[in-house]
Amino acid sequence: MQGHPRKKLNVNRASVVHQVRYAARHPERVVPYLRRTARDLWLRAKHRDHVSYYRAVMASDAGRNPEAAVGSQSHERWLALGLMQFDYLKQHGLAPEHRMLDIGCGNLRAGWRFIDYLDPGHYYGIDISPDILVSAKRTLVTYDLQPKLPYLTISGDLTFDFLPDGHFDVVHAHSVFSHSPIEVIDEALSHVGRILTPGGFFDFTFDRTEGREHHVLHEDFYYRTETLVSLAERRGLKAQFMEDWERLPHGQSKIRVTTGG
Ligand SMILES: C[S@@+](CC[C@H](N)C(=O)[O-])C[C@H]1O[C@@H](n2cnc3c(N)ncnc32)[C@H](O)[C@@H]1O
C-alpha cells in the first residue's frame, strides 16, 4: 500500500522513547508540548466525557486562532486544505443537487466551497464547538454565501437523532475521527446508515497506524485501517479504503462507507 512520505505508519507517538527522541530533534517544541500536557490534565479534570473535553480544547484554540484550531498554521494552508477536500469529493461523486452533512465542519475551511457548489439549503454543518461555529459564520460572510442558506448547528453526540431518515447523499468528516476515541467513531457508524440515502456514502479521514493503536494527550488518535473497517462492518456498513487519497499531500488516510443498499 503506497503512503504519502509524511505518513509515519509505525511510529507510536505516545511512547516515551519516541517522545525523548523527538524532543532531542525538536528542542523548541518541548515547552509548547509541556503547556499542552498541563492543559490536557486541567481540562480532563474539569470535563468527564470526551466531547465536553474536546469542546474546551477548541474553545482554547479557537480563541487564539480559528484557522490554527482546525489544523492550518497559515491562511495559505487553510485555503489549500479546503481545496483538497473539495476537489477530491467532487471527483468522487459530489453533485450540486446532493444533500450533504459535514460532521465537525469547523470554520468551513472546506465547507465554504461545498456551500458555494451545492444547491441552496443543501449543506448541513455540525460541530461540538460553539466558538468555531461563530468563526464559521464569519467565513460565510467573507465569501458572500448568505443566499445559499446553509444550516450550521451545534452537536453534542453523533447519534444524528435530530435529522431525518434517508436524507443525506453525502456525509463527510475530515480530521474529526483523528481527534476521536473509538466510542465516538462507533456511535457515528452505528447511526449514519439511517440518515443516508440508499446510494449515499460517508467519507471520513483518520490518522492511520500500522503499529500499535494509540493517542497523544487525548487530542490525536491513531487507528489501524482494519479496526475501522471491521467496526463499520459490525454496524452493517461496507467500508472501502480510498487508495487514491494516499497520493495527496495529506497526513491522514480516508475510508468511504456505504449502506450497500
Ligand atoms: C481539525 S478540525 C477540522 C474541521 C473541518 N472538518 C475542516 O477540515 O476544516 C476538527 C473539528 O471537528 C470538531 N469535532 C471534534 N469532535 C467532534 C464530534 N464528536 N462531533 C462533531 N464535531 C467534532 C472540532 O470542534 C473541530 O471543529
Domain count of the fold of the chain: 1
All residues at 6 or more sequence positions from 243 whose CB lies less than 8 Å from its CB, including other chains: 1, 2
Report the pLDDT value the prediction gives residue 1, as an integer from 0 to 100.
41
Residue-by-residue DSSP string for the chain = ----TT--TT--TTSHHHHHHHHHH-GGGHHHHHHHHHHHHHHHHH-SSHHHHHHHHHHHHHHH-HHHHTT-SSHHHHHHHHHHHHHHHHHTT--TT--EEEET-TT-TTHHHHHHHSPTT-EEEEES-HHHHHHHHHHHHHTT-GGG--EEEE-SSS--TTS-TT-EEEEEESSSGGG--HHHHHHHHHHHHHHEEEEEEEEEEEEE-SS--EEETTTEEEE-HHHHHHHHHHTT-EEEE-GGGGGSS-SSEEEEEE---
The residue ranges of the chain whose pLDDT is under 70 are 1-7, 261
- Tell me how far CA of residue 88 lies from CA of 91, 141, 157, 208, in angstroms: 5, 25, 27, 19
Report the pLDDT value the prediction gives residue 198, as an integer from 0 to 100.
95
For residue 1, is it within any domain?
no
Domain CATH code at residue 99: 3.40.50.150
Report the pLDDT value the prediction gives residue 77, as an integer from 0 to 100.
96
> Which residue range forms the structural domain that includes residue 42?
16-258
For residue 142, is it within any domain?
yes
Ligand 1: atom nearest CA of 62 is 27
| Nearest protein CA to atom 24 of ligand 1, as residue | 104
Mutation to probe ligand 1, out of 60, 75, 179, 219 (largest number of atoms < 8 A from CB): 179
For residue 96, is it within any domain?
yes
Report the pLDDT value the prediction gives residue 4, as an integer from 0 to 100.
56
For residue 11, is it within any domain?
no
| Nearest protein CA to atom 1 of ligand 1, as residue | 70
For residue 173, is it within any domain?
yes
pTM above 0.85, yes or no: yes
Asked if residue 127 has its Cβ within 6 Å of ligand 1, the reply is yes
Ligand 1: atom nearest CA of 110 is 9
For residue 34, is it within any domain?
yes
Asked if residue 67 has its Cβ within 6 Å of ligand 1, the reply is no
For residue 3, is it within any domain?
no
Report the pLDDT value the prediction gives residue 37, as an integer from 0 to 100.
85
For residue 8, is it within any domain?
no
> Measured in angstroms, how far is the CA atom of residue 24 from the centroid of ligand 1?
31
> Measured in angstroms, how far is the CA atom of residue 70 from the centroid of ligand 1?
7
